[in-house]
């Protein structure tokens, strides 16, 4: 019998406001340690003292898992957030999104995409042709879950990233999430930057361009951020896409390449 996997998910809130979330997909003997690690992390979240932490463990049938390769990673050094956002618009455009829609996506994150400029706990789904928002709940958005790296791929990827000075856990987490999103039917591009006021690096990712980090997407101290997935609604049915993003287990068993400086060359994978 194949070894079962378990989806371990954590979300923490303070006064009803989402402050932290993370997830892993691991084999049985790691469930205890991972639950401990995620809970500990929620208790020490920089964004506030959690008054509620939910940690869930769910068995995954190994036959339902999709396997894949992580996207290639590139870094764009920019001098400030204005240049960063300009670069993001160009990259989104390279990924296949019209400049006007790309700018709308950037503005959404700059303003805070939730009600009254709030940060969402999940992502915005944006119609890449019309700029129309497609997510059912604009407070929560769509949360991508059930993705991780195989143990061997994690070890390799961690070493690779560390060697390039990219050992911050956010990098591998974002790369993993982007990897699942890029493999989604109908997703043409993703735009992301953190809501953490001290973390200013963001990225643009697309099936055609890989994972393109941009060193500055906002000013330090700015606590807005989020994710926007740009969707070709002619290529996918919305319910199917949301189902894939929220439910389909995806495990990466092959690391991508790390290219220190983005030369603007588009790779084919």
Q: Is 195 a residue that touches Mg ion (CB under 5 A)? A: yes
Q: What is the DSSP string of 87-118?
A: HHHHHHHHHT--HHHHHHHHHHHHH-SSGGGP
Site size with Mg ion, rule: CB under 5 A: 1
- Asked if residue 227 binds ligand WAQ (CB under 6 A), the reply is yes
Q: Select from 168-176, 183-191, 232-240, 252-260 the region that touches ligand WAQ (CB under 6 A).
A: 168-176
Give me the 109-148 binding string for ligand WAQ, x by CB under 6 A, dash otherwise. ----------xxxxx-------------------xx----
Q: Which single residue brings its beta carbon nearest to Mg ion?
A: 195
Residue 190 makes contact with Mg ion by CB under 5 A: no
Q: Which residue's beta carbon is nearest to the bound ligand WAQ? A: 194
Minimum CB separation from ligand WAQ for residue 137, in Å?
12
Contacts with ligand WAQ, residue ranges (CB under 6 A): 21, 119-123, 143-144, 170-171, 174, 177, 192, 194-196, 199, 201-203, 213, 225-227
């Amino acid at each position: 019998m194949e070894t079962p996997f378990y989806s371990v998910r954590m979300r923490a809130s303070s006064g009803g406001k989402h402050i932290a979330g993370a997830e892993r997909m691991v084999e049985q003997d790691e469930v205890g340690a991972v639950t401990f690690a995620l809970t500990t992390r929620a208790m020490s979240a920089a964004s506030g003292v959690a008054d509620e932490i939910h940690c869930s463990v769910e068995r995954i049938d190994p036959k339902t898992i999709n396997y894949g390769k992580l996207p290639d990673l590139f870094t764009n050094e920019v001098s400030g957030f204005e240049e960063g956002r300009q670069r993001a618009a160009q990259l989104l455009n390279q990924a296949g999104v019209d400049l006007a829609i790309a700018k709308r996506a950037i503005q959404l994150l700059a303003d805070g995409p939730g009600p009254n400029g709030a940060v969402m706990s999940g992502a915005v789904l944006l119609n890449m042709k019309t700029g129309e928002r497609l997510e059912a709940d604009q407070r929560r958005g769509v949360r991508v879950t059930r993705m991780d790296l195989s143990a061997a791929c994690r070890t390799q990827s961690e070493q690779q990233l560390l060697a390039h000075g990219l050992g911050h856990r956010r990098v591998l987490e974002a790369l993993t999430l982007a990897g699942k999103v890029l493999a989604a039917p109908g997703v043409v591009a993703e735009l992301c930057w953190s809501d953490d006021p001290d973390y200013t690096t963001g990225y643009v990712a697309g099936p055609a361009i890989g994972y393109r980090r941009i060193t500055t997407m906002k000013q330090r101290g700015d606590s807005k951020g989020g994710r926007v997935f740009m969707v070709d609604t002619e290529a996918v049915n919305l319910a199917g896409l949301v189902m894939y993003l929220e439910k389909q287990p995806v495990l990466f068993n092959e690391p991508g390449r790390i290219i220190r400086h983005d030369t603007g060359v588009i790779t084919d994978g």
